[in-house]
Structures are given as structure tokens and as C-alpha cells.
């Protein structure tokens, strides 16, 4: 007997009502394939910043290696540099006049200006910026939010650059008291006015300075001492150091000597370990940390611990 033929199944007809646009919403034929815009944008940004950072880093390492070869050919002694035997101020005094020109392009492509704006926009009240360099943060301060601005740096040449740059911004800060002082960040807690009164601050800022000083723990403790005893006082930091990734840390380690002798900065510091030091944990609470450029750029907001807790 012949088998009965199976009925041919036709695909179900799409109900027109499924495709009907909901008033006020864009029609979406298949919601399962709706692109997730936020993760794409965030992922793309991270990839972009990671890639630009790696490119800059490899390029800088090559440059540093070339300088090293030239140094050896010129018969300059190759010594093991450490924060104990090498004061980076000599470098800063030498490169002050060219500093802005040298780093402007790198900062632009890495989006550092945006991170500066994000951080410095939070400054308020009496503000101290340590290791202020050539004043690359001036443009980001909100004049209505600050009562006074004090800029310090250990290098007289960097401070001179900052002072002359500030002339451009003077008119924005007519209502604020502004001062420039030469000071080591480690001694910043005992800063005084010209007539000898102790100076204390609502906001203490450091951007890319902790890679240059000899002892970042002492520097942070100095900043804590410079804060007012107030619930609202904050320390705002934008720094750079070791990455999340070993392959990158190996590159930073391998070139640390050459890099510090050209750029005055120890770029392989384990920055977060500063906040694990017992002397720091006793004094400071971390409110926010975010890391960029494969973990090498650190954005940190910290608060002096209240004496009563």
C-alpha cells in the first residue's frame, strides 16, 4: 500500500500586527538583533584608548632605547637609577620650556584632556595643586567654585612656565586668591602663607606627579596633612603606573631606567600599592578608582579619615 504523503508545512505568516510601530518608538523588525549601543560605545572607547596607549608606549620605548645607545656611544656611564640616587628635578628644570610641546599630541590622542576636565571640575573651595608643572590643568578649573588656588612644584623652571601661562587665565579668577610656591610635595603639609600662617585646603590635587617624586607614600601623606579637617575635603589624583597586564609591565620595567633619565618619571610604579601602605590606610579612605589605558592611568578620589572614627 502506498504511504500517505506528508502534508507540506508552510512557514507561518508573519502577523502584520507584530511589525506595527508602537507610537513614539522606532519600529524594530527583530528585537533579538537590536544592537546594544552603550556596550559598543564603551568597548570601542576602551579599545581605542588601549590601542593608542600601546602605540605611544612602544614608540616612546624605541625612542628611549635610541637615546640610551647614543648615551653609551658618548661614553656616559650606565648606572642603575633609583629614586634614592636620582632626583628627577634636574630633568624637569631641563625640559620645562619644551614640556607642553612634547606631550600635547600624546595627551590629545589618549584623551587625557577629558580625564583632566572630569577630575579638575570637582575642585572647590581653597584648592592646592601640587607638582603643578606647566599648569596644564588651568583651563579646567571652574572659577565660580574656587575661593583660592595655590600651585606648587619642586622645579623652579616648571613653576616659571606655569606662572607665565596663568596670565592667560588671570581675568577668569578675579575673585580667587592665587599663589605659586616652590615646594616639595613631601613637605606640603607644612605649607605657610608669606606671613607664616599654616595653609590648609578643601581640595588637594595631583596629576601625573607621583611618578616623579622620590617617595609616593610620603607624598600622599603630605597631601593628607595639607587637607582641612573637614568632611568635605578631598584629594583628587590622576596618575600613571603599572598596568593590569604582565606583558606591558615587562615593557615598562625593561625601559624604566631609560625613561626616567629622559622624562623624569618612574613609569612602572605600582601606584595602587601606595594606598595599601599602613600609614596611608590609617589616614585615607578611597571613594573612587577608575583605570584607563590598559590599567596604566589611574583616576582616584580620596577622603581624609575623620578624626572621630
Ligand X SMILES: C[S@@+](CC[C@H](N)C(=O)[O-])C[C@H]1O[C@@H](n2cnc3c(N)ncnc32)[C@H](O)[C@@H]1O
What minimum distance in Å lies between the beta carbon of 301 and ligand X? Answer: 16
**Exposed / middle / buried, residue 276 (Cβ in 10 Å: 0-12, 13-18, 19+):** exposed
Could you tell me which of 271, 268, 226 has the C-alpha nearest to residue 248?
268
3-state DSSP: the chain helix, strand, coil percent, rounded to 5? 45, 15, 40
222 binds ligand X, rule: CB under 6 A: no
What minimum distance in Å lies between the beta carbon of 270 and ligand X? Answer: 18
Q: Which is nearer to ligand X, 59 or 230 (CB)?
A: 59
Site mask, ligand X, residues 99-138, x = CB under 6 A? --------------------------------xxx--x--
Binds ligand X by CB under 6 A, chosen from 50, 209, 216, 295: 209
Task: Look at strands 234-240 and 125-130 and give their pairing.
Answer: unpaired
C-alpha 291/C-alpha 295 separation (Å) is 5
Question: CA distances (Å), 151 to each of 30, 77, 92, 176, 225, in order?
Answer: 57, 36, 16, 13, 16
208 binds ligand X, rule: CB under 6 A: yes
Binds ligand X by CB under 6 A, chosen from 220, 265, 280, 284: 265
Q: Which is nearer to ligand X, 189 or 230 (CB)?
A: 189
Q: Which is nearer to ligand X, 136 or 234 (CB)?
A: 136
283 binds ligand X, rule: CB under 6 A: no
Q: Are 185 and 153 in contact (CB under 8 A)?
A: no
**Beta carbons within 10 angstroms of residue 12's beta carbon:** 6
Query: Binding residues for ligand X, per CB under 6 A?
Result: 88-89, 92, 131-133, 136, 153-155, 158, 184-186, 207-209, 212-213, 265
Amino acid at each position: 500500500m502506498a504511504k500517505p504523503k506528508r502534508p507540506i508545512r508552510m512557514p507561518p505568516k508573519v502577523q502584520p500586527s507584530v511589525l506595527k510601530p508602537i507610537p513614539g518608538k522606532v519600529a524594530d523588525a527583530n528585537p533579538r538583533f537590536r544592537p546594544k549601543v552603550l556596550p559598543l560605545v564603551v568597548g570601542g572607547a576602551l579599545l581605542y584608548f588601549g590601542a593608542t596607549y600601546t602605540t605611544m608606549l612602544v614608540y616612546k620605548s624605541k625612542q628611549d632605547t635610541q637615546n640610551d645607545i647614543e648615551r653609551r656611544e658618548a661614553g656616559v656611564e650606565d648606572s642603575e637609577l633609583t629614586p634614592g640616587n636620582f632626583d628627577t628635578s634636574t630633568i624637569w628644570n631641563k625640559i620645562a620650556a619644551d614640556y607642553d610641546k612634547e606631550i600635547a599630541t600624546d595627551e590629545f590622542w589618549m584623551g587625557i584632556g577629558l580625564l583632566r576636565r572630569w577630575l579638575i571640575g570637582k575642585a572647590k573651595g581653597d584648592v592646592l595643586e601640587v607638582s603643578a608643572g606647566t599648569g596644564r590643568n588651568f583651563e579646567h578649573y571652574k572659577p565660580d567654585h574656587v575661593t583660592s588656588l595655590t600651585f606648587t612644584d619642586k622645579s623652579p623652571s616648571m613653576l616659571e612656565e606655569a606662572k607665565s601661562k596663568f596670565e592667560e587665565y588671570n581675568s577668569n579668577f578675579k575673585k580667587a586668591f592665587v599663589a605659586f610656591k616652590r615646594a616639595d610635595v613631601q613637605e606640603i603639609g607644612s605649607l605657610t602663607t608669606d606671613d607664616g600662617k599654616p595653609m590648609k585646603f578643601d581640595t588637594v590635587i595631583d596629576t601625573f606627579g607621583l611618578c616623579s617624586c622620590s617617595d609616593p607614600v610620603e607624598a600622599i601623606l603630605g597631601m593628607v596633612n595639607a587637607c582641612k579637617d573637614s568632611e568635605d575635603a578631598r584629594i583628587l589624583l590622576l596618575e600613571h603606573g603599572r598596568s593590569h597586564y604582565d606583558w606591558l609591565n615587562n615593557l615598562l620595567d625593561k625601559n624604566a631606567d631609560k625613561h626616567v633619565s629622559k622624562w623624569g618619571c618612574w613609569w612602572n610604579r605600582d601606584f595602587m600599592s601606595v594606598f595599601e601602605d599602613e600609614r596611608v590606610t590609617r589616614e585615607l579612605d578611597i571613594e573612587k578608582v577608575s583605570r584607563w589605558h590598559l590599567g596604566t592611568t589611574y583616576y582616584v578620589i580620596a577622603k581624609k579619615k575623620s578624626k572621630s572614627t
